[in-house]
Amino acid sequence: MTDSTAIALLSGGLDSATAAALAIKSGFRVIGLSFDYGQRHRRELDAAVEIAKALNLAEHHTINVDLAMWGGSSLTDHAQTLPTSGVETSIIPNTYVPGRNTVFIAIGLSLAEARGADRLVLGVNAVDYSGYPDCRPDYLEAFQDLADLSSRAGREGHGPKLWAPLVEWSKQQIAEEALHLGIPIERTWSCYSGGDVPCGVCDSCRIRDEALLAAGRPDLCSPGRP
Amino acid sequence: MTDSTAIALLSGGLDSATAAALAIKSGFRVIGLSFDYGQRHRRELDAAVEIAKALNLAEHHTINVDLAMWGGSSLTDHAQTLPTSGVETSIIPNTYVPGRNTVFIAIGLSLAEARGADRLVLGVNAVDYSGYPDCRPDYLEAFQDLADLSSRAGREGHGPKLWAPLVEWSKQQIAEEALHLGIPIERTWSCYSGGDVPCGVCDSCRIRDEALLAAGRPDLCSPGRP
């Protein structure tokens, strides 16, 4: 398996770090890819660099694609309020960046083709984030169909396969696997805000802290937790 | 129809200008979108700005997404030779940028959702460029399926529709329609090279010049034509 390359999208958060580590465990040579898309803070990009080093990735690229240019999301638009009231699974939350995952996966496929990679590793998770249309299994299946038609390698029958190992996992399962894989969880960044320490009150912090508590690691929870 | 907005991808070339003008003719308020993807020269981006002005577009954005960062194409990689020997329709030419159209359409969908646009207008053409996997009708159909699942608007049943009016046209038909629509063809840029004037010898110049000759306009052909 050591001849096979995988591209792993790295947000700097816990989920994508866990997915990348699972690809390494499966024997892939892993190249990390992160996106400077005009997010509110660079803290998560710094975390992605840290995780790439900690996992000893073969390469790590951060590409600029300024989706904040046209607004439309509280993750990039400073005029909107971040949600702290809990994820409603039937409603698309206002942290939604228009087309973000579609752009990220498309760019990941470009790098995958340039490197002859067999897999594109995604940390997307539909259980805690089913409010996002672009984190659901039917979306990923449609993207695979597109990928198989979009590239030279795909048309020739050996294009990259999307691999989202965490898509049906609970956040607690992800936290437990991350601990099992030895991921330096304290170096990942999931908080929507970009302070010195995670805020502990945004939805992302709350979900992560609940999972770490359930996994028996209160010491890894956000310092800002109420 | 004047309430409806369309996003038109503008390469600076003849095809995308013609597609954008067709959208205007259909009554859409058109927003242009161009990509600084690390192409060999900026001449085509300057042309896109000119065309946006000439067509009096409502907005025009140029977004940076440096796909040249990882190489893989003679359009971005200076170490490779540009093709001048004719387009072989059964072979994927080496001007292929990995995943370029997939990235461009994905970013176009992001802007479409941010602006509530009904259409994403594409100048892709499968007749003269069938060597490119991402210019074919089956690829566009798969992208529509993905778009309908990828966005809030798509899930709610009113997402943007991909519209590639030229996909089955010959280059001569495109040239004739461009003349009919009054597009300032001399301000578009199709040449793979980035000199002061189009080279007249690259495949893109040759195909365009043949079409303009067939349309009875030798005066609009590349000055560098042999």
Q: Render pLDDT for B83-119 as a digit per residue (tens, 0 to 9).
A: 565 544 444 445 567 889 999 999 999 999 989 899 9
Mean pLDDT of B202-223: 92
Interface check for B155 against chain A (CB to CB < 8 A): the answer is yes
Interface check for B161 against chain A (CB to CB < 8 A): the answer is no
The H or E element that residue B81 is part of is: none
Do A111 and B142 count as a contact with CB atoms less than 8 A apart?
no
Residue A90, pLDDT above cutoff 50: no
pLDDT range class, residue A91, cuts 50, 70, 90: very low
**DSSP strand E in chain A: where?**
5-9, 29-36, 59-64, 119-121, 161-163
Do B67 and A110 count as a contact with CB atoms less than 8 A apart?
yes
CB pairs under 8 A between A and B: 144
How far, in Å, are A83, A121, B114, B222 from residue A78 at the CA level?
A: 13, 30, 15, 48
Interface check for B7 against chain A (CB to CB < 8 A): the answer is no
Of A66, A106, A111, the CB nearest to B70: A111
Ligand-binding annotation for A221, yes or no, is no
Ligand-binding annotation for A17, yes or no, is yes
Interface check for B96 against chain A (CB to CB < 8 A): the answer is yes
Mean pLDDT of B10-36: 97
What's the rounded Cα separation, in Å, for the pair A208 and B135? Answer: 42
Interface check for A100 against chain B (CB to CB < 8 A): the answer is yes
**DSSP strand E in A75-192: where?**
119-121, 161-163
Interface check for A107 against chain B (CB to CB < 8 A): the answer is yes
Are A94 and A138 in contact, with CB atoms under 8 Å apart? no
* From A55-69, A72-86, B150-164, B201-215, the region with the lowest mean pLDDT: A72-86
Ligand-binding annotation for A16, yes or no, is yes
Of A92, A109, A133, the CB nearest to B102: A109
Residue A147 in domain: yes
Contact residues on chain A for B155, CB-CB shorter than 8 A? 92, 133
What's the rounded Cα separation, in Å, for the pair B11 and A222? Answer: 46
Residue A85 in domain: yes
Block residue for tokens 């067509």:
B55
Which is it for strands A29-36 and A5-9: parallel, antiparallel or unpaired? parallel
- Closest approach of A215 to chain B, Cα-based (Å): 32
If you measure CA to CA, which chain A residue comes closest to B98?
Answer: A110
- Closest approach of A79 to chain B, Cα-based (Å): 15
Whole-number pLDDT of residue A1: 46
Ligand-binding annotation for B149, yes or no, is no
Q: What global pTM score does this model have?
A: 0.90
Residues 6+ apart with CB under 8 A from A165: A19, A22, A121
What's the rounded Cα separation, in Å, for the pair B57 and B51? Answer: 9
Do A64 and B64 count as a contact with CB atoms less than 8 A apart?
yes
Residue B127 in domain: yes
What is the domain count for chain A?
1
Q: Give the torsion sign (CA, B126, B128, B129, B131).
A: positive
**DSSP strand E in B73-146: where?**
119-121
Residue A211, pLDDT above cutoff 50: yes
Whole-number pLDDT of residue A126: 83
Residue A128 in domain: yes
Interface check for A54 against chain B (CB to CB < 8 A): the answer is no
Residue B152 in domain: yes
Domain span holding position B85: 5-170
What's the rounded Cα separation, in Å, for the pair B39 and B206? Answer: 20
Interface check for B114 against chain A (CB to CB < 8 A): the answer is yes
Helix (H, G, I), strand (E, B) or coil at A10: coil
Are B169 and A186 in contact, with CB atoms under 8 Å apart? no
Residues 6+ apart with CB under 8 A from B156: none
Residue B140, pLDDT above cutoff 80: yes
**In whole numbers, what is the pLDDT of chain A averaged over residues?**
88
The ipTM is 0.89
Residue A47 sits in a domain of what CATH number?
A: 3.40.50.620
